[in-house]
Amino acid sequence: MADENNIQLDEELEAEPRSYKQYDGAARLDALDKKILKLIMGNARIAFLEVARMCGVSGAAIHQRVQRLINIGVIKGSEFVLSPTKIGYQTCAFIGVFLKEAGSFNQVVAAMEKIPEIVECHYTTGRYAIFIKIYARSNEHMKHVLSDCIQQIPGIASTETIISLEETFKRQIVLE
């Protein structure tokens, strides 16, 4: 049986016949997987032996579980997160992109990948076909990236820019 968060226990999946819920993209996680994830989400640099001690299992078991979680795509990686303002990027903006034709999506995204100031790109519903997040060193730099780079990409009809005044909070998805 799936809980409301589409997380299923291994034992339950083994007992269930194939159903729609198994194809919804949710990973099969048991209580130990969830505990491991909560610990490493709280501190990505925590030693596996410390995780093992807190979970009451061996270090090898933790290593195998984490490797499995990486292999099935639950863990996408670990990284050091830089502070944009501390390295000179003072302006953050979100830009909604209108396409001339829906068929130009792949070419537009391929061109956007070449612009280093674009740090996120989402295919969306609603007003915009694409919604991106960019960082710039200043408003002048932002204007350059927008006018001379983004708006020059073939297939883009127009853009709407929303400048972020402050990132109030940012967090990982909640794991229950």
Q: What is the pLDDT of residues 80-128, one digit of tens each?
A: 889 999 999 999 999 999 999 999 999 999 999 999 999 999 999 999 9
| Amino acid 176: pLDDT | 76
| Amino acid 28: pLDDT | 86
Angle between helices 31-42 and 59-71 (to 10 degrees): 90
Low-confidence stretches of the chain (pLDDT < 70) are 1-24
Instruction: Tell me the pTM.
Output: 0.77
Q: Where in the chain is the domain with CATH 3.30.70.920?
A: 84-164
| Amino acid 78: pLDDT | 87
| Domain at 10-71: CATH code | 1.10.10.10
DSSP 18-73: P-GGGGSS--B--HHHHHHHHHHHH-TT--HHHHHHHHTS-HHHHHHHHHHHHHTT
Of 70, 78, 92, nearest to 136 by C-alpha is 92
DSSP lists the bridge partners of residue 85 as none
Q: Where in the chain is the domain with CATH 1.10.10.10?
A: 10-71
| Domain at 84-164: CATH code | 3.30.70.920
State how far the Cα of 176 lies from the Cα of 14, in Å rounded to an integer: 21
Of 153, 161, 152, nearest to 111 by C-alpha is 153
State how far the Cα of 134 lies from the Cα of 83, in Å rounded to an integer: 14
Distances (CA, A) of 166 to 30, 85, 87, 122: 38, 11, 16, 21
